[in-house]
Amino acid sequence: MNPFKKFNMWFNLAKKNHTFDHTAFALGTENKGQPHTRMVLLKLILEDGFVFFTNLNSNKGSHFKYNKKLSMCFYWESIHKQIRIVGKGSIVDDKTSDKYFASRPRGSQIGAWASDQSSQIKSFSYLKQREKKFEKMFKGSDVPRPDYWVGIKIQPKEFEFWQQGNFRLHQREVYFLRNKVWQRKMLSP
Ligand SMILES: Cc1cc2nc3c(=O)[nH]c(=O)nc-3n(C[C@H](O)[C@H](O)[C@H](O)COP(=O)(O)O)c2cc1C
């Protein structure tokens, strides 16, 4: 089976069964040999990759500029499944980021301007002041997408599908690319 097909099957199953947001995943980046993870939301599933949106000036954005290799990990407790993906990131085209940005609530759009993501701030009230500043600036008009706010597509080179089994005999199915063809192997849990 094509791993994208399997991903979609599990993702839809999680959507039906999950109590929390099934689109949330742990995103892994690397910076000078130090791995970092944080949660982000999967917003687009394309034929060849998975897209999340973020601020390119954030820590993760800086890591990504320096190392395009990224990892993703979903865990859906309700269906006892985990999916791990490793691959290469690339910035999606402006049209795709514009379209998604335009679909966000106005408050989130203002927030994208107000928050210089990952930078040190004096206080929370400083952030609220910035929010007010941008509300005023964009009053009566659409909020444009800041050019640093983009979608990043992760194009997988490997998937691991993990299904919980009894007595720790879990099933681990790995798909990897060889000569551009998906190959499948099983791993011991
Ligand atoms: C459930 C959840 C979903 C999140 N989704 C996003 C997201 O889609 N994009 C984003 O930039 N940050 C998201 N965040 C915030 C990130 O986890 C993180 O705090 C932020 O992006 C800064 O990370 P960085 O300093 O490593 O760049 C989310 C946090 C949680 C808990």
Whether residue 119 is contained in a domain is answered as no
At residue 82 the predicted structure's pLDDT band, cuts being 50, 70 and 90, is: very high
Gap between the Cα atoms of 28 and 38, Å rounded: 7
* pLDDT for residue 18 is more than 80: no
Whether residue 125 is contained in a domain is answered as no
Q: What is the mean pLDDT of residues 44-54?
A: 97
Taking alpha carbons only, the member of 77, 43, 44, 72 closest to residue 60 is 72
* pLDDT for residue 1 is more than 90: no
Q: What pLDDT digit, counting tens, does each position of 145-167 carry? A: 999 999 999 999 999 999 999 98
pTM (2 d.p.) = 0.96
CA of 142 to the centre of ligand 1 (A): 24
Whether residue 121 is contained in a domain is answered as no
CA of 40 to the centre of ligand 1 (A): 5
pLDDT of res. 107: 97
Which residue segment(s) compose the domain that 70 sits in?
Answer: 3-102+149-187
Whether residue 158 is contained in a domain is answered as yes
| CATH number for position 51 | 2.30.110.10
Q: What pLDDT digit, counting tens, does each position of 170-186 carry? A: 999 999 999 999 999 99
Q: Mark whether 168 is an active-site residue.
A: yes
Q: What is the mean pLDDT of the chain?
A: 96
Whether residue 83 is contained in a domain is answered as yes
Whether residue 123 is contained in a domain is answered as no
Whether residue 120 is contained in a domain is answered as no
Taking alpha carbons only, the member of 172, 169, 183, 148 closest to residue 56 is 148
Number of domains in the chain: 1
Whether residue 112 is contained in a domain is answered as no
At residue 116 the predicted structure's pLDDT band, cuts being 50, 70 and 90, is: very high
CA-nearest residue for atom 6, ligand 1, is: 40
* pLDDT for residue 114 is more than 80: yes
